[in-house]
Amino acid sequence: MTPYEKNVEIWKQLWRVLEKSDIVIQILDARAPEFFRCEDLEAYVRELSERKINMLLINKADLVSEEIRKIWSDWLNKNNVNHMYFSAKDEQTKIDEEEDAEEGGEVKVEAETTPEQNAKL
């Protein structure tokens, strides 16, 4: 155990946050998700309440092939593990493209709108 893990205040803060949370998200690296996953944390969250949701957010999805992501998804689905892939790099690219479009006078509206809202646009 590291000195950080021996600090009781850290554990108290974690317990408080878990008791108040409805969803607990673990952020994992897509290159080795099982290495970073803490199944003990998931079990503890289930012990606190069956209504609490465990979720794995698998980051850096752009660094692994679609085939590998599919294999991991199949395995996680088979084991009833909530998960989703995310790529911060891809999201930043989208943000940059939107900013460039806005500077050029174009405005992209990607959110769903009602016909009344469309009329105002």
CATH number at residue 50: 3.40.50.300
Whether residue 77 sits in one domain with residue 94? no
Residue range(s) defining the domain that contains residue 92: 88-121
Whether residue 21 sits in one domain with residue 41? yes
Whether residue 113 sits in one domain with residue 59? no
pLDDT digits (tens, 9 = 90+) for 58-110: 999 989 999 999 999 999 999 999 999 998 888 888 888 888 888 875 555 55
DSSP 47-107: HH-TT-EEEEEEE-GGGS-HHHHHHHHHHHHHTT--EEE--HHHHHHHHHHHHHHHHTT--
Whether residue 42 sits in one domain with residue 31? yes
Whether residue 101 sits in one domain with residue 82? no
Question: Model pTM?
Answer: 0.68
Count the domains in the chain: 2
pLDDT digits (tens, 9 = 90+) for 9-57: 888 999 999 999 999 999 999 999 899 999 999 999 999 999 999 999 9
